[in-house]
Amino acid sequence: MKTISTAKSHGGVQGVYSHASEACACDMTFAVFVPPQAKDGPCPVVWYLSGLTCTHQNVMDKGEYRRLAAEFGLIVVCPDTSPRGESVPDEKDNWQFGCGAGFYLDATQAPFSTNYRMYSYITEELPALIAKEFPADMTRQAIFGHSMGGHGALTIALKDPERFKSCSAFAPITRPMVAGWSRPAFEKYLGTDEAAWRAYDAVALIEDGKRFPEFLVDQGSADGFLEDGLRPWLLDEACKAAGIPLKLNMREGYDHSYFFISTFMDDHLRWHAERLAK
Ligand SMILES: N[C@@H](CCC(=O)N[C@@H](CSC=O)C(=O)NCC(=O)O)C(=O)O
């Protein structure tokens, strides 16, 4: 692992690091905030998965998570959203596919299957690195994310409920196998057999019997992607049918941006801190 930068913040350290990823067959960059409490022992880990077009940096610059993470003693890990580099296949003029649009899945279709393995990266390779290099208590983990990253958080938690004490999302893509901005990507990454897509779709996973104790979701009512891309009511219906408590907060007038995310960041960190403390 290589340290790219570190800076003291709220008594802790905000760092940016890179490493050679086996899962993604390229160098990957990620951000980690270590709170001041880490001086006294391992701290719980909160994973934040970002949305389309993002790197590790968007939430680091605009998410406003450090003050409360420092107060609650939370390590916050912010990975990149896809593999990157000269040798990584991409569609440069398409922000909904390729670099910046990994959709937290393991691609099965050539040429994408060599690098686009974000599911394995987030669920196996990066946790192992975090456990080795940081003062992390890996028995206490939580996950949240935004939009494509909200989809990532929900699907990863549903498939591994033992690993996470809590899960939440800002404006998640609830049905990526149906939504217009993700369906073409699913076909290119996973092929035409839609049965394989269900493993990466929160509503389909719940329909297929996967469970998580409870979810928190915040959604802006003025989000331009609400009707076509996000549709939180589909998650609400699936959770109701499955008996999963979902706290869905519709936030009047908020859009899809980090102005919305940063407004409700404290609520989400508090939600995770309370459940990580149990
Ligand atoms: N380029 C697009 C807008 C892309 C966008 O809104 N990306 C969101 C995530 S969308 C779902 O995953 C984002 O987080 N952007 C980064 C940021 O810093 O705001 C367009 O032009 O419409």
pLDDT digits (tens, 9 = 90+) for 148-170: 999 999 999 999 999 999 999 99
Structure-token pair, residue 37: 């409490």
**Is the C-beta atom of 151 inside 6 A of ligand 1?**
no
For ligand 1, atom 5, name the residue with the nearest CA: 52
CA atoms within 13 A on the CB side of 247: 11
What's the pLDDT score for residue 278?
Answer: 84
Is the preceding peptide bond at 111 cis, omega within 30 degrees of 0? yes
Task: Report which of 87, 68, 92, 82 is spatially closest to residue 9, judged by C-alpha positions.
Answer: 68
**Is the C-beta atom of 147 inside 6 A of ligand 1?**
yes
For ligand 1, atom 13, name the residue with the nearest CA: 51
Is 223 in the active site? yes
Q: What is the distance in A from the centroid of ligand 1 to the CA of 177? A: 19
Q: What is the distance in A from the centroid of ligand 1 to the CA of 157? A: 23
**Is the C-beta atom of 261 inside 6 A of ligand 1?**
no
Question: 210-245, pLDDT tens digit by residue?
Answer: 999 999 999 999 999 999 999 999 999 999 999 999
Is 147 in the active site? yes
Domain boundaries, the chain: 2-273
- ipTM higher than 0.90? yes
Homologous superfamily of the 2-273 domain (CATH): Alpha/Beta hydrolase fold, catalytic domain (3.40.50.1820)
For the chain, give the mean pLDDT.
Answer: 98
What's the pLDDT score for residue 75?
Answer: 99
What's the pLDDT score for residue 254?
Answer: 98
Residue 244 to residues 138, 182, 206, 276, 278: CA-CA distances in angstroms?
25, 25, 9, 19, 20
Those residues of the chain that have pLDDT short of 50 are: none
Name the strands in the sheet holding 215-220, side by side, starting at the edge strand that comes first in the sequence: 2-9, 12-21, 26-34, 75-79, 43-49, 136-146, 164-170, 215-220, 246-251
Q: Which of 82, 147, 166, 168 is an active site residue?
A: 147
